[in-house]
Amino acid sequence: MQPSLIERIIRDDVRAMGAYHVPDSHGLVKLDAMENPYQLPDALRAKLAARLAEVALNRYPVPSSEVLRARLKTVMDVPAGMDVLLGNGSDEIISMLSLAAAKPGAKVLAPVPGFVMYAMSAQFAGLEFVGVPLKADFTLDRAAMLAAMAEHQPAIIYLAYPNNPTGNLFDADDMEAIVRAAQGETCQSLVVVDEAYQPFAQDTWMPRLAEFGNLLVMRTVSKLGLAGIRLGYLAGAPAWLSQIDKVRPPYNVNVLTEATALFVLEHVDVLDQQAAQLRAERATVASALAALPGVTVYPSAANFLLVRVDDSARVFDGVLARKVLIKNVGKMHPLLANCLRVTVSTPEENAQFLVAFQAALQD
């Protein structure tokens, strides 16, 4: 194929981008993607297999996924009068939000460093992305956020709670100031609070949905232990969701995903127990890392830890050489210089990581 044809057809900014890279983890202890390391108990897996065997694979999904939406509203304590919209992971929901709001000149605003898909989805939809740097300790810069909101008048503001890749929960007063300002005289914006890691934070904006007419809460079941089924949901006022639903692909949640989610939501206590185990392991790993010389461990309300070392590239390579895969985020943003992100896992995998990490520090 002639390169000139590609250049004529494909947008310049897309050709200049790199594809989202997922590293090969074969044969490695995989601690780079914030997955829950625990599978369902054997007895539940057998019951799930029987349930899935009854799914009508020859039929399209029910477009509204009404049964699953109703179950999510009950189990996840969505306030009365609010509804949920489903997506193929929260990535698709972010894409739908961008597409629905993509008026000429519209902008998306979020603190940085943050989840990369906010900026990527905005770019794909032709929106300008405005990143507002966090403070050096990764807390929200309230003054800078409010100033940027007044200047740029963003259509959408994302606030990750807790934030990825830093792991911290933003101050509640700062969050509220931003949400209120986004429905004030100088700014009119939709605020999306991204609670992907809520099971590990145990704090949420879900009960406040009815309080703010410009607020939506986005979650995913990926971090709960269901990353493989790709299911995210957006909670909020039906007036908002009915508009965003118009750009949703009609069969975006497949029948196996829906059946699996419905089954697991019947046994959500198992997932809650796993999350509690991971919270306990998070404290253990953080304490062990903080005791090592030259290592800074940042507070985390997620299922991962952000650490700073003298040379993140060298330590990353040393850990990888010992068959443990973590994430080198040192070049994602200047505030993350020499930082590494590691998923909290089982006691056995955490022990393997700590041995590899300590050895890598001494390489």
| 157 and 223, same domain (yes or no) | yes
Q: What is the pLDDT of residues 18-61, one digit of tens each?
A: 877 777 778 899 999 999 999 999 999 999 999 999 999 999 99
Q: What is the pLDDT of residues 313-363, one digit of tens each?
A: 999 999 999 999 999 999 999 999 999 999 999 999 999 999 999 999 998
- Number of compact structural domains in the chain: 2
| 132 and 9, same domain (yes or no) | no
Distance CA 108, CA 194 (A): 14
3-class SS of residue 77: coil
Q: Is residue 97 part of a domain?
A: yes
| 280 and 214, same domain (yes or no) | no
**What average pLDDT does this structure show over 2-29?**
84
| 227 and 259, same domain (yes or no) | yes
**CA within 13 Å, CB half, 146:** 15
Distance CA 297, CA 285 (A): 10
Q: Is residue 128 part of a domain?
A: yes
Pick the last residue of a domain from 266, 298, 314.
266
| 255 and 274, same domain (yes or no) | no
Which range marks the domain in which residue 82 is found?
57-266
| 283 and 322, same domain (yes or no) | yes
| 255 and 284, same domain (yes or no) | no
Q: Is residue 47 part of a domain?
A: no
Distance CA 121, CA 17 (A): 13
Contact 129, 158 (CB under 8 A): no
- The β-bridge relationship of strands 339-343 and 304-308 is antiparallel
Pick the last residue of a domain from 243, 266, 289.
266
DSSP run (H or E) holding 84: strand 83-87
Q: Is residue 51 part of a domain?
A: no
| 261 and 285, same domain (yes or no) | no
| 181 dihedral zone (left: phi>0; alpha: psi -120 to 50; beta) | alpha
What Rg, from alpha-carbon coordinates, does the chain have? 21
276, 243, 14: which is closest to 124 by C-alpha? 14
Contact 307, 338 (CB under 8 A): no
User: 136: how many CB neighbours lie within 10 A of its CB?
Assistant: 8
Q: What is the pLDDT of residues 239-279, one digit of tens each?
A: 999 999 999 999 999 999 999 999 999 999 999 999 999 99
Contact 324, 358 (CB under 8 A): no
| 253 and 280, same domain (yes or no) | no
| 144 and 68, same domain (yes or no) | yes
Distance CA 280, CA 294 (A): 24
